[in-house]
Amino acid sequence: MTLPKEFVAGQKEKLLAEKILLESELNKISTKDNNLEGNFDANFPDYGRSPEDNATEGEEYSSRVGIENSLELKLQDVNLALDNIKENNYGVCNKCGAELEQDRLVVMPSATRCVTCK
C-alpha cells in the first residue's frame, strides 16, 4: 500500500510548520553551530556576578541543555521525515522497511520507524 499523495503533501506541511516552530524555540535558548549541520549549543545565561547569580545561571544552563537536546532530537526527526518525503520513502520504517500505520503518522508526522523498531 502506498500513501495517498495528498496525505503526504499534508504531512509535509505539518512537518515544515513544526520545523519552523522547533527552530524558533531553539533560537531562544541556543545558538546554531555553523560547523555541524543540525547542531545547536545552549547559551550560558548571564544574571550577574554574585555567587547566587552564578548558581542560578548554572541551574538555568543545565535545564537549557536538557531542553535544547530534546528539541534538537525532534528537529532531526522532522528533517529525516522531510528527506524521506523528498526521496519518496515517507511512511517506511528506516530500520526494517515495514510500512508505518497511517494513523501513527497522523499523530506523529515525524515518525520514521515502526512501533517495533522505535
> Measured from the CB atom, is 81 or 114 closer to Zn ion?
114
For position 111 contacting Zn ion by CB under 5 A, the verdict is: no
Among 17, 96, 106, 108, binds Zn ion (CB under 5 A): 96
Segment near Zn ion (CB under 5 A), from 3-11, 26-34, 70-78, 91-99? 91-99
> Binding mask 46-85 vs Zn ion (x if CB under 5 A, - otherwise)?
----------------------------------------
Report, in Å, the least distance between residue 114 CB and Zn ion: 3
Q: How many CA atoms lie within 13 A of 92 on its CB side?
A: 13
Residue 32, beta-bridge partner list? 40
Task: Decide: helix, strand or coil at residue 23.
Answer: helix
Spatial separation of the C-alpha atoms in residues 37 and 21, rounded to whole Å:
18
Among 75, 93, 100, 111, binds Zn ion (CB under 5 A): 93
Q: Is the dihedral of CA 69, 32, 92, 10 positive or negative?
A: positive
Residue 99, beta-bridge partner list? 92
For position 117 contacting Zn ion by CB under 5 A, the verdict is: yes
